[in-house]
Amino acid sequence: MTAQDTTNASPLAPEWLTVPRDLNALQEPMWARTVERNDDGGLAVAGVSVAALKEQFGTPLFVMDESDFRARARAFKDSFDAAFADICGGVDVYYAGKSFLCTAVVKWVEEEGLRLDTASGGELAVAARAGIPGERVALHGNNKSDAEINRALDMKLGRIVVDSLAELERVGATAQARGEEAKVMLRLTPGVHAHTHEFIATAHEDQKFGLSMAEDTTGQAGLSAAEEAVAAAAAHPGIELLGLHCHIGSQIFEPDGFALAAEKLLRFLAAMQEKYSIVMPELDLGGGYGIAYTPVDTPRPAAEIAEAMAAVVRSTCAELGIDSPRISIEPGRAIVGSTTFTLYEVGTLKTVRVDAPGTASDGGNNVTYPRRYVSVDGGMSDNARPVLYDADYSAVLASRTSSAAPQLSRVVGKHCESGDIVVRDVYLPEDVAAGDLLAVPGTGAYCWALSSNYNYLARPGVVAVRDGSARLIVRGETEEDLLNRDMGV
């Protein structure tokens, strides 16, 4: 972490936010590997300056470091393969396409030896366009349409992750009518909820996803919804039951929650195999590995998480006397999140004064402190996470360096919502002015994917930069795109 400078600290800042000694520094875990400052002070990615990117593609713009994406994908695959080599011969890593998906990314995922997790017919369409073989693709969703189920069968998907008993019957009946067997994983809710720095285990599930493992969820004493589904799947002529799946949450730093879920699922898998005389050869432990959005976030390396999970799988299988099923995982954010920053241009600046308790020298009275609003040319339409989840981000001045004093700033968008905040609290140089470029790191996951056309803003493009050259992998929308679907007066 960069050393802090307490003299410029604002009482309006949240406790976790310290004043960096050097406002121009790029704090490591938040940025993609090839991002650095050029000799002129402007940011560059893989040798391409943000000035050049703005000139060629405009702003706002998602700027993705392709080699960083590939390295993170490969790190997951290699670390989990190594940790699980002696347990089940390696791990299948499904990149969670919901975090960010386009055909170029599918290609990279495949080239790095990963598979693809999708959650809708639209995401399957991207997979098909990219040409990834169906057996390397999974389909999720708690409300799959008949068209989506048929599309999954047409594409001969490696797995359909079934979310409910009703869906199991629909998938089974559809496959049977086609004279096929659908390859099915059952999504269970193990009662483990992980939440960034901690996890809680509960007996019951109150959420839309998955089949509960709690034993009174079917109205039949001792029978869980999960067991009911296993029994139904094992008996259904249209179903090939591959195994079990869970996903305990997102932006999780500690491996304990993953390990506990793995243990619960393995115990259940062993009990079901024995009771119904079946073998379930696969177990998917989902995604959810956290990344750094701010300087105080401390994500764990993939290898550390892999080791912790492998230790539990190894010991639980030994205790149960079963062979480990083939393990798979579904990271999204931890692969793509930190590969990307959003480049914005600064427009209007405004400083307000906000009441806050004074220091001892103010005699305990309230004092007003400045908060500066820095408006940029995007906002909640390209990053909904601050509004949706209260998510924190960080930002730096990207077009140049500055030796001006730090000023507590709030980076806001241009939408007609006062909640349209991109970075709630960040120290930026006090000479930031209209026309400067700002970069917000960690926007690779669930930003472009959740983008909208609110206020008829065109969605930004996504540019991939590698070895000194930049290419659009998703074109930004034009005004014509925005008007295309308007059927006229």
Ligand X SMILES: Cc1ncc(COP(=O)(O)O)c(C=O)c1O
Residues engaged in binding ligand X (CB under 6 A): 96, 98-99, 117, 140, 247, 250, 286-289, 330-334, 445
| Least distance (Å) between residue 302 CB and ligand X | 12
| Least distance (Å) between residue 290 CB and ligand X | 8
Q: Which tokens sit at 421? A: 């905040």
C-beta of 138 vs 346, nearer to ligand X: 138
**Backbone phi and psi for residue 369, each to the nearest 5 degrees, phi listed first:** -125, 150
Instruction: Tell which residue, 387, 388, 391, has the closest CA to residue 297.
Output: 391
Which one from 102, 317, 416, 447 is the annotated catalytic residue? 416
Q: Which residue has the tokens 């001892």?
A: 360
**Backbone phi and psi for residue 182, each to the nearest 5 degrees, phi listed first:** -80, 135
C-beta of 288 vs 325, nearer to ligand X: 288
Cis bond before residue 441 (omega within 30° of 0): no
| Least distance (Å) between residue 99 CB and ligand X | 4
| Least distance (Å) between residue 398 CB and ligand X | 26
Three-class secondary structure of residue 378 per DSSP: coil
* 149, 171 Cβ separation under 8 angstroms: yes
Angle between helices 66-88 and 302-320 (to 10 degrees): 20
* 61, 100 Cβ separation under 8 angstroms: no
C-beta of 42 vs 249, nearer to ligand X: 249
416 is catalytic: yes
Q: Which tokens sit at 283? A: 């177990």
Give me the half-sphere count of Cα atoms (radius 13 Å) on the Cβ side of residue 409: 30
| Least distance (Å) between residue 209 CB and ligand X | 7
C-beta of 330 vs 436, nearer to ligand X: 330
Instruction: Tell which residue, 38, 84, 30, 71, has the closest CA to residue 341.
Output: 30
User: In Å, how far are 36, 143, 356, 443 from 28, measured between CA atoms?
Assistant: 10, 40, 32, 15
C-beta of 117 vs 227, nearer to ligand X: 117
CA distance 231 to 173: 16
DSSP secondary structure letter of residue 168: H
Instruction: Tell which residue, 294, 297, 346, 332, has the closest CA to residue 447.
Output: 332
| Least distance (Å) between residue 195 CB and ligand X | 12
C-beta of 98 vs 371, nearer to ligand X: 98
Catalytic positions are: 416
